[in-house]
Chains A and B, each alone.
Chain A
Amino acid sequence: MSVLITISLLAILVLYLGLFKAKKALLPVSILGLLGALSLSFYEWGSYAQPIYNGMMLFDNFAAAFSGITILSTLLIFLLSKDYFERISSNIAEYYTVILFSLAGIIVMVSYHNLTMLFIGIEIMSVSLYILAGIKKRDFASNEAALKYFLMGAFSTGFLLFGIALLYGASGSFDLLEIRNYILSAPQEVSPLFYGGILLLIVGLCFKVGAAPFHFWAPDVYEGSPSLITAYMSTVVKTAGFAAFLRLFLFCFSPLSEFWSPVLVTLAALSLLIGNITAVYQQHFKRMLAYSSISHVGYMLFAVISLNGSSDTSIFVYAAAYSIASIMAFAALILLQRQVGTDSFDSFNGLARKNPFLALTLTVAMLSLAGIPLTAGFIGKFMMFTSALSTYHTYLVLFAVLNAAIGIFYYFRVIVAMYFKEADRHELIVSPYYRLVLGLSAAATILLGVYPELISRLI
């Protein structure tokens, strides 16, 4: 629990540092604080098996693992933020603070034990993100992204709340344990309100993670927001959304899986189809990443569909692999946008000759996202497919394998452009911070691909 307290206090500290014009100290202090929070989440491993604060939060190993991966991804994104916010405005302390506040909301989302905390966590995270999407105040695309994200986010919150209200009406409690007991006490006589509540909760949560057909806001918001914020939204936020999703379904709704499983199967198949097919037609790297993130949501939904003892582990591994690879891709995207001014696929031509290191790490990222063996992404997909097969969703897995093949096409477009197309270009300047992030992430991707046991036994 000290993780949540540390991050909230850190956010306030950073805000005060900004007030006292200590601009140089902002990034080091944030990074040190996050490292502290990360070590605390390891330290709390297995120490709170009981719900705390009157049953509001449960900081079990699940919560500790997902806090760890979200904090680690935020740390990598903070390292990329060196000299990024300075180009947008001169008051940069607020940006760090708002990101940290949204991280605090995420910690609540992964460790809730009461639907009240689920709602509060999602809102703390979302309200901060509405601000972050619009930090380029003069930029129309950023404005539009902020408004669309805000309207769609608030709209989905309405559905989420209505779902919670119906669950409360049927079961008489917000506590996850009591809701579970309500189902188990009379599985045949669950009130119809409860089923309606589950459906509305699925709608609300699918909006938040961006699963088709509730994905339509995602490409625009991802494209319009500043690239660093997009990196944060498509990695950390998505991981947190799935952690919240899984916690609720694994703990509460698993006895009713016959009811909601077909719904989620449909959503997963739609996400795979729409995400992959639309990504093929994109001409810009950032928009391609947005659509590919929708298809990754489809893969991650597999773990929720085939609930068993290992679905938390498989979603953890998948989210870790996906986050690390996406952060590498976004680091390359930021460098390209800043120094070339465009992010179309043609702008990658000939990159391997001038920037061999950048091209190599971007290749590792693309291979991992495509799910090629010896990368972390392969292990993630493998675990997802095995868990889906173990519950006899054979057709879904066949469909997913076909879609993974489509995915290879658009991820390899980048690699082909970098290595096999020639173009006259200047060398991109890759700062030491970017080198550090790219090198570390590429090493982690390959290490996890070769030794998946490193994290697959964590939860």
Chain B
Amino acid sequence: MSLPDVLRAALAEADRHDPKKAMPRSTFRFGDLSVAMRLHPSPALQRLLPMMRSGGVKAPPSSVVIDVVGGDVSWLRKLLPPPDRRGRTLLRANEDIYYLWLNEADGYLTAIDRGAARGLVWFTHPDKIASWHVARPFLHAIKGLSLPSPWTPIHAASVALNGRGVLIAGLSGAGKSSIAMTCALRGWDYLGDDAVLVRAGPARVAALYNSARLREDTFSRFPEVMAACLRVSDDAGESKAEIDMALMRPLTVGEAEISAILVPQPTDWTELHLRPISRSETLRKLMEAAQQSLIGDEPSTFAKLAAVVERVPCYGLVAGGDPEQLSCALSRLVEKRSAA
């Protein structure tokens, strides 16, 4: 049997475990995609739902169904990589299947049958689900489902003012969360600090999660945000505050036009500085960030992000040390774009 056939058999088996379709489903909307998560019985999996931005959407008939499974499940074993390869990241992404095995939480699999728009997420040890999964659940499933959609999930932050947003690109540690928090505390709508959806034609950004994560060295800079901290978790040896931004204020805006793309610049400067940068540099930074955490489908991701970059002005940003000044400068940027 080929891997897609093994996956189809597993998905058929998942349906047999829910013959009356009585298993609870939670439906979420991601851009133009409506996804019903069918959680198989396992209390640890319930932790994955609260941070989803669009909870409570009524399931349309066209919803894609993703089975979320935890533990040692006999009818999924054929999907496991051979034992000698389970310590590696394994990916197959083509028009038939998105299969991603990550050696974290003692084994985590996302498998999407792209032809049938069905899939599953399997935590082989649900008691070991990593904190970043709880903050950004099902991100790889969304990635696997997004291939035929104009939307693509990316590793970026975003905030918006009056429906016009800035997209903040960069690798982990570039300062995306700090810039997003600085703006969110000054009236901007929060769309995400680490993962959002984007599309071109027109260029838009959509929120995926309510969550934010702050590095320990930024805790003291954002006491108001820390008031919404659910817990501090260990992320590969680094302490991260897990924030529920909905506790700060209702998150009513889930989508915005992209008015500018910002790429934080590594520098010792302490003064705010914004300068236009080339589209090729911006696209490269967006792709680097995508490949850091959302691997697979690179040619398609490249084409989608190139179409966004083509339509939006791109800037290198040194955030400086004055949060008020930063928020004002970015306000002027989106207003300028609106006027243009």
A binds B: no
Chain B residues close to A by CB (< 8 Å):
none
